[in-house]
Structure 1
Amino acid sequence: MTEPANETRLAAAAMPLGLFVYTLLYGGMTVLAGVLAYKQVQLWPTELAVESGIFAFLLLVVISSTLAQLYGEKIANRIVWFGFIPLLIASALMQLVLHLPASPEMLSNPDRLEDLAAFERVHSTLWRIWMAGPAAYIVSLLLNVWIFSRLRGSSEGASTLSLMARGAVASALSQAIDSVIFITLAFYGQFDITNLLIGQVIAKVALSLVLVPFLITGGVAFARWLDRR
């Protein structure tokens, strides 16, 4: 076996297990966030709404902050940029499937024909979401990593409380900006986006303050546990 091949295998073996697992999860969430965004859900008991992709996107925030905490800002930013790869591949595959002809069995069966129409109606309108998503994604997640890392300062032995506070602040600010970019690019002109935009900002900021601190703390603890194995 050649020396470069040996070096490649050694580098792969030296990759922390936590980093490996979170990288896989991160790639899946980038794709799922775009698919879920098609449905808007009501924020009971108000009439405000939020697009469902928020749930997957918050996990992206948690993962990027966790990576920045454990493996450094440079690694976290690299994962954010590489997150474009599964997103672009999924978008290309969706366009391929939409343009391929359906099977004769599907076209001849009335029930399957309704399923086909629903599938094409939903996914053919996702192009704006697939375009809006990357723009909001790269701005907000790079901003999240930057704010999270800057708040850390020079302290390497940050307490759990500090970790939770930095995660909440970075997530709230970056997700408010993400909401404005995404909702405007994805839905402006299709319907009145006022309630959706307000609901999205409120929901993301609220969840960032309430859930993200605990999710980041748990994410860091889980990654450390994986790395010890």
Structure 2
Amino acid sequence: MPETDQTHASALTVPRGLFVYLLLYGGMTVLAGVLAFKQVRLWPSDLAVESGIFAFLILVVISSTIAQLYGRAIANRLVWWGFVPLLVASVLMALVLRLPPSVEMAQFRADDLVAFERVHSMLWRIWMAGPAAYIVSLLLNVWIFSRLRGANDGGGTISLMIRGAVASALSQALDSVIFITLAFYGEFDITDLLIGQVIAKVALSFVLVPFLITGGVWLARKLDRA
């Protein structure tokens, strides 16, 4: 390989762990918006949560993991570039909804067609609310996570777990307020959904995120060494 090609290849090398998380991150940004349309019951109460919470917690873990291993600047860039798959997905959805259905589907699967168009044509508020909540909460998560590390923090496991949980809980509580208000206000009484969402995200942030983020950091380091 010529020297110039080697230089270019070296400059474009991305750590394997970072590359894998970049792929996963893009998928989760789109999936979070799709899942958000369904609300599920928060057992054992009757409080409701929108299902996008599960994909969004993965986004939190990935952004914190990248901030931990590769720096806050890269994590922030990842958050901003997460708009790209969201934009492409929304454009494709608008295109598909405008295209006429096939003759076979209109004739033999009319119920499926009606259900598809009914659900996805109502997603416009979610597609609008998602990016607003996404950018505020994820940037806040990265900022809190990085600030809590401090100059003398060596990045130990306990510190990692605590910072991940606190940053996730605070940022996801704000995300719930922004997203649910913009997406569902006026459609129905959002009180139970909003309360349930905040409780669920805060609870899951303290129960799951500490272990998910330590696992995420471990996996990234393992992939980087492979």
- 1:5 Cα shift? 6.0
- Indicate yes or no: 2:146 matched with 1:149: yes
AA at the equivalent of 1:51: E
- Indicate yes or no: 2:167 matched with 1:137: no
Residue 31 (structure 1) aligns with: 30
Aligned partner of 1:186 among 176, 183, 188: 183
Whole-angstrom CA distance in 2 between matches of 1:69 and 1:158:
8
- 1:106 Cα shift? 1.2
Residue 10 (structure 1) aligns with: 10
Whole-angstrom CA distance in 2 between matches of 1:200 and 1:70:
29
AA at the equivalent of 2:203: A
Deviation per CA, 1:28-63: give whole Å up to 9, x if none.
000000000000000122110000000000000000
Aligned partner of 1:225 among 219, 222, 225: 222
Whole-angstrom CA distance in 2 between matches of 1:182 and 1:2:
51
- 1:3 Cα shift? 7.8
Residue 103 (structure 1) aligns with: 102
- 1:2 Cα shift? 8.9
Q: Are residues 8 and 154 of structure 1, via their aligned partners in 2, closer, same or farther at CA, if it must alter by over 3 Å?
A: same
Query: What TM-score, normalized by structure 2, do the two folds share?
Result: 0.97
Structure 2: stretches of 5+ with no match in the other structure:
none
Q: Are residues 2 and 189 of structure 1, via their aligned partners in 2, closer, same or farther at CA, if it must alter by over 3 Å?
A: farther
Whole-angstrom CA distance in 1 between matches of 2:169 and 2:35:
21
Count of equivalent residues:
226
Q: Are residues 114 and 67 of structure 1, via their aligned partners in 2, closer, same or farther at CA, if it must alter by over 3 Å?
A: same
Query: What TM-score, normalized by structure 1, do the two folds share?
Result: 0.95
Residue 171 (structure 2) aligns with: 174
Whole-angstrom CA distance in 2 between matches of 1:8 and 1:104:
51
Whole-angstrom CA distance in 1 between matches of 2:64 and 2:47:
28
Q: Are residues 140 and 107 of structure 1, via their aligned partners in 2, closer, same or farther at CA, if it must alter by over 3 Å?
A: same
Whole-angstrom CA distance in 1 between matches of 2:23 and 2:69:
17
Residue 208 (structure 2) aligns with: 211
- 1:150 Cα shift? 0.2
Deviation per CA, 1:142-163: give whole Å up to 9, x if none.
0000000000011352210000
Q: Are residues 220 and 202 of structure 1, via their aligned partners in 2, closer, same or farther at CA, if it must alter by over 3 Å?
A: same
Deviation per CA, 1:90-114: give whole Å up to 9, x if none.
01000000000011111121xx111
Q: How does 1:53-92 map to 2 (within 5 A)?
A: 53-92=52-91
Root-mean-square deviation over aligned CA pairs = 1.4
Whole-angstrom CA distance in 2 between matches of 1:89 and 1:223:
27
